[in-house]
Amino acid sequence: MTLILKPLDHAALLAVLETVAIAAGQEILRIYAEGCDFALKDDQSPVTEADHAAEAIILAALRKATPDIPVVAEEEISGGHVPGDLGARFYLVDPLDGTREFVSRNGDFTVNIALIENAAPVLGVVYAPVRGVLFTGGTAGAQEITVGEGGAVTARKAIGCRASPHDLIAVASRSHRTPQTDAYLEKFRIADCVSVGSSLKFGLLARGEADIYPRFGRTMEWDTAAGDAVLRAAGGITLTLDGNPLTYGRRNQADDADFANPDFVAWGKL
């Protein structure tokens, strides 16, 4: 059921999310340059000092700017700090999406912040600090922003998904590609398949460099929400295998953890 929410200035909030993501990304870059150890969480995924430092920056800023909007953040959830009733509007935060890429030092990691309203991602920012690229998505469309030295914004441009060509360009996870992914892609005419880490895959679809991103295997909502928001703002869509748009705020699932996604396929323009 769609609930009527109090008015919110999406444009002003998106500007806040841009600033916060860049600040968190600059702290990640500092730690990345110095180097740090990592630990394994209960699910055997890695976590570093950079994850925690970035999340602290993001949480402080969001709670100051919008204290009435709950925040679901990966490391808080991992630490057992689970919010109560979320209502129809909440944030999903992954302070360092692609920690494996961070540890392996290939640069394919991002800062992800998304606003969810009535189970849909309506605002999102995806910042790749090593690449100096920030993707944003909201009601006014999607943008690609160039971030230079010290986190300064040096350029911005509108982006959009391309119409699907006869031969598709696919993107797939660098660290989590599965046989199911390859089997699914065999259903289509695929000219090339690009492997890239983190939510950068959504960015490639959003700026018209790729057409399809299937994901089979465990992901969490904070992994996908920001990239999905950018993709939808660019004219694409993320669908579950039954053909419905991917939704957010999944709790009390019989066969999986809170905030776990089902398998999905992200598309440019269908």
Does the annotation list 49 as a binding residue? no
- Taking every pair of Cα atoms in the chain, the longest distance, rounded to a whole number of angstroms, is 48
98 known member of a binding site: yes
Residue 192 among known ligand-binding residues: no
CB 55 within 8 A of CB 74: yes
The annotation status of 76 as a binding-site residue, yes or no, is: no
Helix (H) or strand (E) holding 125: strand 120-128
By three-state DSSP, how is residue 184 classified?
Answer: helix
Is 134 labelled as part of a ligand binding site? no
Q: Which two tokens stand for residue 102?
A: 């961070």
18 in a known ligand binding site: no
The one-letter amino acid at 245? P
> Shortest CA distance to 264 belongs to which of 252, 251, 118, 250?
250
> 25 near 127, Cβ under 8 Å?
yes
CA angle 158, 161, 162 (to 5 degrees): 120
96 labeled binding residue: yes
Question: Binding site for Mg(2+): which residues?
Answer: 74, 94, 96-97, 223
Annotated binding-site residues for substrate read: 74, 96-99, 223
Annotated binding residues: 74, 94, 96-99, 223
